[in-house]
Amino acid sequence: MESTVFVNEEKWIKHYSSRHQILLVGEGDFSFAACLARAFGNASNMVATSLDTQELLGQKHSTAAENLVLLKDKGCTIMHEVDACAMSQHPLLKHRKFDRIVFNLTKSRKFYDISYMLHQGVVLGFLRNAYEMVTEKGEVHVTHKTAYPFSKWEIEELGQIVGLRLIDRQKIVIHLPLNEEKSRSKAMTIASNVKGVIKVEVVRDKNHLVVIGEGVDSVKLVNSLRKKFCFAQIVMVKSVFTEESGFRQDEFQRQTFNDNPTQYIAYPRKIVMNVPMHSEKVKSKAMQIAVSIQGVSSVSIGKENDELVVIGEGVDSVCLAKSLRKKFCFANIISVEEVKPPSPKPNVECCPPPCYNYWRPCPVYDSGPSNWFFM
């Protein structure tokens, strides 16, 4: 008689998998943990902790009791009175390792008023403990707002102090013929299937495909798009910190481009490539290959020895990367950006008289978008 074995299908919600060992720290009403449990269908891989006692939790959050019942039914381990700054020494946690450790910071009014240095100490203490508890390839996520006073916490620097590094994510903008809804849908489908892609969107008025991800090979991405659309050109590649990165959110400025593709592509651009150049002979060969590419006007070695900086008009960054890969096996596009011409100096015939009136402008604090998200 044949035996049937049922294997639980892996489910992904953003950065979290149903097969990850997940530790949630500083839960308020346990709503975030409950959202993950509903999405996974099972929470036996999760440990949700709170600083409050169970009695105080019920007094502060009316919805906590319902969420706790759900989590217990799904198999989640629930722990109360767990200090984020000492959790690595907790008797039930000190021998465990986690793939994801998440700290959702509170939004209460009191949190704004207390000295930001005090909260820096709390975050630093959490990161120190998380460093001891996260697996080698695991991640630590801190969700917080970006407005004042959160902007003064310098969480990225705190992570570096304890030995953590901020996950580098790239924003890749690709110019494509996306005039029809069918072509836009196909482009997004192709990009979504590329390893490391987290977010895909289309800017219709510019025929731009915007891709955000970790470790995305932009060369393979463009080659896949060219097989379908014949034409695909990288407009920009830059490192970003998105809402999903956990640490902070950068405000992205939409670039102003000409709608005419030929004029747009011919604009001077600076391309930074990562190429393994361990000797002067290799550097010379890499520069020779770059110079042979049509449109290149300048080639140099960057601040890092493995960085090749290429400037030119109409340079196909994908063709450049493929040429380098044929010789060196590895070549990756780090960034692509416009080369802005220096602004002309105004012709001033006579100098105005000096002004001795000084004033201090009033500070303006950006309220900033919230990094809170629930799934």
Pick the CATH number of 168-265 from 1.25.40.10, 3.30.70.360, 3.50.50.60, 3.30.70.100: 3.30.70.100
Model confidence at 193, pLDDT cuts 50, 70, 90, reads confident
What is the pLDDT at residue 49? 96
Q: Is 73 helix (H, G, I), strand (E, B) or coil?
A: helix
What is the pLDDT at residue 254? 23
What stretch(es) of the chain map to CATH 3.30.70.100?
Answer: 168-265, 266-340
pTM (2 decimals)? 0.53
Tell the CATH topology of 12-162.
Answer: Rossmann fold (3.40.50)
| pLDDT > 90? residue 112 | no
Query: Across the chain, what does the average pLDDT equal?
Result: 77
Q: What is the mean pLDDT of residues 119-131?
A: 88
What is the pLDDT at residue 374? 42
Least confident of 103-107, 326-330, 342-346: 342-346
**What number of other Cβ atoms are within 10 A of residue 136's Cβ?**
6
| pLDDT > 60? residue 67 | yes
Q: According to CATH, what is the number of the domain 266-340? A: 3.30.70.100
| pLDDT > 80? residue 346 | no
Q: What is the mean pLDDT of residues 222-233?
A: 90
| pLDDT > 60? residue 93 | yes
**DSSP assignments along 96-159, one per residue:** --EEEEEEE----HHHHHS-HHHHHHHHHHHHHHHHHHEEEEEEEEEE---STTGGGS-HHHHH
What is the pLDDT at residue 357? 35
What is the pLDDT at residue 284? 87
Name the H helices within the chain. Answer: 31-40, 54-60, 64-73, 109-113, 116-133, 155-162, 181-192, 218-229, 261-265, 280-291, 317-328
Model confidence at 149, pLDDT cuts 50, 70, 90, reads low
